[in-house]
Amino acid sequence: MASRTITLTVDGVSYTDDVEPRLLLVQYLREVLGKTGTLVGCDTTNCGACTVLVDGESIKSCTMLAVEADGHEVTTIEGLATDGQLHPLQKAFNECHALQCGFCTSGMIMQSVSLLAENSRPTDQEVREGLEGNLCRCTGYQNIVAAVQQAAGEGAAR
Amino acid sequence: MTVTEEHAPEIGKARARKEDARLITGRSRYTDNMVLPGMLHLAMVRSPLARARITSIDTSAARSAPGVVRVLTGKDLTGEQGSMPNAWPVTEDQKAPPHPAVAEETVNFAGEIVAVVIARSPAAARDAVELVDVDYEPLTPVVDLATAARDEELIYPELGTNHSATWVFDSAEAGTGGDIKEAISAAEIVVERTFRQQRLIPAFMEPRSTVVDPTGEQLTVWSATQIPHILRVMLALTLGIPESKLRVIAPDVGGGFGGKLQVTPEEVITVLAARHTGKPCKYTETRSETMVGAHHGRDQIQTLRISAKADGTVTGLDVHLVANMGAYLGLITSGIPILGAFMYNGIYKFPAYRFECTNVFTNQVWTDAYRGAGRPEATFAIERMMDELATELGMDPIEVREKNWIQHDEFPFATVSSLEYDSGNYEAATAKALELFGYDELRAEQTRRRESGDVVQLGIGVSTFTEMCGLAPSRVLGALSYAAGGWEHAQVRVLPTGKVEVVTGVSPHGQGHVTSWSQIVADRLGVAFEDVEVLHGDTQVSQRGLDTYGSRSLAVGGMAVVAAADKVIEKAKVVAAHLLEAATDDIEFSGGQFTVRGTDQGVGFGDVAFAVFAAHDLPDGFEPSLDSDATYDPENFSFPHGTHLAAMEVDTETGQVRVRKYVCVDDVGNVINPMIVDGQVHGGLAQGIAQALFEEAVYDDSGTLLTGSFTEYLVPSAPDLPSFTTDRTVTPSTTNALGVKGVGEAGTIASTPAIVNGVLDAIRQFGVSDVEMPCSPSRVWHAIQAARVGSGAGTGHTGTGGEEARR
> B718 and B595: one domain?
no
pLDDT at A1: 64
Distance CA B90, CA B468 (A): 18
**Cis amide linkage into residue A122, ω under 30° from 0:** no
Task: Point out the domain boundary residue: B591, B613, B632.
Answer: B632
Residues B649, B621 share a domain: no
B681-715 as b/e: b if 16+ CB within 10 A: bbbbbbbbbbbbbbbbbebeeebbbebbbbeebbb
Contact B682 A143 (CB under 8 A): yes
The secondary element (H helix, E strand) that includes residue B804 is helix B799-806
CA torsion B515-B521-B524-B528 (nearest 10°) is: -80
The structural domains of chain A, with segments of one domain joined by +, span: 4-79, 88-153
Residue-wise pLDDT tens digits, B749-804: 999 999 999 999 999 999 999 999 999 999 999 999 999 887 643 333 333 333 33
Residue B504 lies in a domain: yes
Per-residue confidence (pLDDT) for residue B788, from 0 to 100:
87
Is B806 found in the same domain as B727?
yes
Asked if A42 lies within 8 A of B30 by C-beta distance, the reply is no
**Best to test chain B binding among A85, A138, A145 (most B CBs inside 10 Å):** A138
**Of B632, B653, B677, which residue constitutes the final position of a domain?**
B632
Helix (H) or strand (E) holding B525: helix B513-525
Query: Which chain B residues are Cβ-neighbours of A26 within 8 angstroms?
Result: none
Q: What is the DSSP letter of B118?
A: E
- In this predicted model, what pLDDT tens digit does every residue of B436-477 receive, in sequence order? 999 999 999 999 999 999 999 999 999 999 999 999 999 999
- Is B195 within a domain? no
User: Do B775 and B660 share a structural domain?
Assistant: yes
Task: Give the separation between CA B468 and CA B342, rounded to whole angstroms.
Answer: 8
Domain carrying residue B449:
421-467+639-807
Of A46, A93, A141, the CB nearest to B24: A93
| Alpha-carbon distances of B142 from B146, B262, B362, B701, B787, rounded to whole Å | 10, 24, 6, 8, 32
Q: Are residues B791 and B753 in the same domain?
A: yes
Any CB–CB contact under 8 A between A53 and chain B?
A: no
What's the pLDDT score for residue B799? Answer: 34
Residue B196 in domain: no
Residues B670 and B801 in one domain: yes
| pLDDT tier, B159 (very low <50, low <70, confident <90, very high otherwise) | very high
Does the A88-153 domain belong in CATH 3.90.45.10? Answer: no
Q: Is A42 on the interface with B (CB under 8 A)?
A: yes
How is chain A split among helix, strand and coil, in percent rounded to 5? 35, 20, 45
B785 and B687 within one domain: yes
ipTM score of complex? 0.98
Domain at A4-79: CATH architecture:
Roll (3.10)
Residue whose C-alpha is closest to residue B426's, from B443, B441, B411, B436: B411
Question: CA-to-CA distance for A148 and B12, rounded, in angstroms?
Answer: 25
CB contact under 8 A, B30 and A103: yes
Query: Rounded to whole angstroms, how far apart are CA atoms B669 and B488?
Result: 20
Which positions ≥6 away from A156 have C-beta within 8 Å? A87, A88, A89, A92, A113, A116
- d(CA B400, CA B392) in angstroms, rounded, equals 11
> B284 to chain A: nearest residue by CA?
A40
Both B577 and B598 in one domain: the answer is: yes
- CATH number, residue B727: 3.30.365.10
The shortest C-alpha distance from B708 to chain A (Å) reads 10
- Give the distance from residue A71's alpha carbon to the nearest chain B alpha carbon, in angstroms: 24
Query: CA-CA distance, B465 to A74, in Å (whole number)?
Result: 49
The answer on pLDDT for B805 being more than 70 is: no
Residue B752 lies in a domain: yes
pLDDT surpasses 90 at B807: no
d(CA B16, CA A91): 10
Cα–Cα dist B486/B482, whole Å: 10
- Domain boundary among the residues B570, B601, B632 is at B632
Do B803 and B670 sit in the same domain of this protein? yes
Residue B297 falls inside a structural domain: no
Q: Does A5 touch chain B (CB under 8 A)?
A: no
Q: Which residues sit opposite B308 in a β-bridge?
A: B189, B314
Are B542 and B231 contacting, i.e. CB atoms less than 8 angstroms apart?
no
pTM for this prediction: 0.96
From A131's Cα to the closest Cα of chain B, the distance in A is 6
What percent of chain B has pLDDT above 70? 97
B contacts of A111 (beta carbons < 8 Å): none
Q: What is the pLDDT of residue A155?
A: 83
What's the total number of domains in chain B?
Answer: 2
Residue by residue, DSSP assigns B596-662 as ETTSSBEEEHHHHHHHHHH-SS--TT--S---EEEEE--SS-B--EEEEEEEEEEETTT--EEEEEE
**Tens digit of each residue's pLDDT (9 = 90 or more) over B198-221:** 999 999 999 999 999 999 999 999
The C-alpha torsion from B442 through B444 and B447 to B452, rounded to 10°, is -100
Same domain, B597 and B504: yes
The answer to whether the CB of B46 falls within 8 A of the CB of B293 is yes
Residue A140 contacts B, CB cutoff 8 Å? yes
| B626 occurs within a structural domain | yes
Q: Do B28 and A80 touch (CB under 8 A)?
A: no
- Asked if residue B689 belongs to a domain, the reply is yes
Confidence of residue A39 (pLDDT cuts 50, 70, 90): very high
Rg (CA), chain A: 15
> Which of B323, B253, B311 has its CA nearest to residue B510?
B253
Q: Do A4-79 and A88-153 agree at the fold level?
A: no
The size of the A-B interface in CB pairs under 8 A is: 178
Residue B7 has pLDDT above 90, yes or no: no
